[in-house]
Amino acid sequence: MNTELELRTALPDPTLSEFVGSFWMLVNNSDKDRELAVLPDGRVDVLFSYSSKEPFDAMLMDLDRHSSQTIFASTATIFAVSFKLLAVEYILETSIADQKNHPLVLPDNFWDIGIDDLNDFDRFIKKISEKIHQILKEKKIDDKKRKLFEHIYASDGSLTVKELADKSFWSSRQINRYFNQYIGISLKEYCNILRFKASWPQIKEGKFFPEQNFTDQAHFIKTVKKHSGLTPKGLNKNENDRFIQFLDLPKK
């Protein structure tokens, strides 16, 4: 990895794990812009960022369906929290169904985070975590939704819609209505994104056969190409270290 890029990730406190996937920070320490690619990972990010060229701002990102290219500006800093989907309704208190891959600019001083909070990653995590706990104190989480997402993430999206409906005691029709209302895609499409993400470690290791309950090799390759634009072998090469999430995968 280019040492001019500083990447850190951290898991949430276990009490937040059903809502938060991770916290992460990315800093471009150079005076040159960097072209990066982002892979769909099934999460919804809230980003706080600034650079010498751009003022501090906060944005709610849409759920990625496909790989996207971005220019990471010189001297830019991003601190972020990656949310699981249950957080869209209960923490972010919104719907992303109509965002159409466009970032939503959040109000000034969103969650009391300012530019000074982007100097210390651990302090940022503590402050965001305290805010989320504060929000959740006032919420009663629907047990059906809680069970649904528990099984979705535990299986890495490998269960069928019917199996998930049976396990959560919620009809397939109601589940898809919920997904279309809050997220803008079907449960089946979301599960395919999670299976794609779950395949990253094996692809990085050079294993190009399906391990995530894909129908066959052709289905696996088709899914990887749909979400990354590359075959598993092409993704494994990660030319120019452009897929930033691949760089954070542990080496085995």
Sheet containing strand 5-10, edge to edge, reads 5-10, 20-28, 77-83, 44-50, 57-60, 104-105
Confidence (pLDDT) at 127? 98
Kindly report the pTM of this predicted structure: 0.92
Dist. CA 133–CA 16, nearest whole Å: 8
Reference 9, options 55, 43, 35, 34; nearest CA is: 43
Confidence (pLDDT) at 182? 96
DSSP letters of 79-146?
A: EEEEEPTHHHHHTS-S--TT-TT--EEPPTTGGG--GGGGG-HHHHHHHHHHHHHHHHTT----HHHH
Domain 5-136, architecture per CATH: Sandwich (2.60)
* Domain ranges (residues) in the chain: 5-136, 142-192, 199-252
Alpha-carbon torsion, ordered 98, 200, 85, 214, to 10 deg: 90
- Give kind and range of the element (H or E) at residue 78: strand 77-83
CA distances from 87 to 45, 112, 133, 171, 238 (A): 11, 19, 12, 21, 31
Confidence (pLDDT) at 252? 36
Reference 190, options 202, 201, 204, 176; nearest CA is: 176
Q: What is the DSSP letter of 236?
A: H
pLDDT by 10s per residue, the chain, length 252: 456 889 999 999 999 999 999 999 999 998 899 889 899 999 999 999 999 888 999 999 999 999 988 889 999 999 999 999 999 999 999 999 999 888 999 998 999 999 999 999 999 999 999 999 999 998 999 999 999 999 999 999 999 999 999 999 999 999 999 999 999 999 999 999 999 999 998 888 888 887 767 777 888 899 899 999 999 898 888 876 788 887 765 443
Report yes or no: 208 and 232 within 8 Å, Cβ to Cβ.
Answer: yes
Reference 54, options 102, 115, 133; nearest CA is: 115
Backbone conformation region of residue 178, classed left if phi is above 0, alpha if psi is from -120 to 50, else beta: alpha
Confidence (pLDDT) at 1? 45
Residue type, 49: S
CA distances from 51 to 55, 124, 178 (A): 7, 18, 38
Dist. CA 56–CA 118, nearest whole Å: 10
Provide the token pair at 6: 């500083």
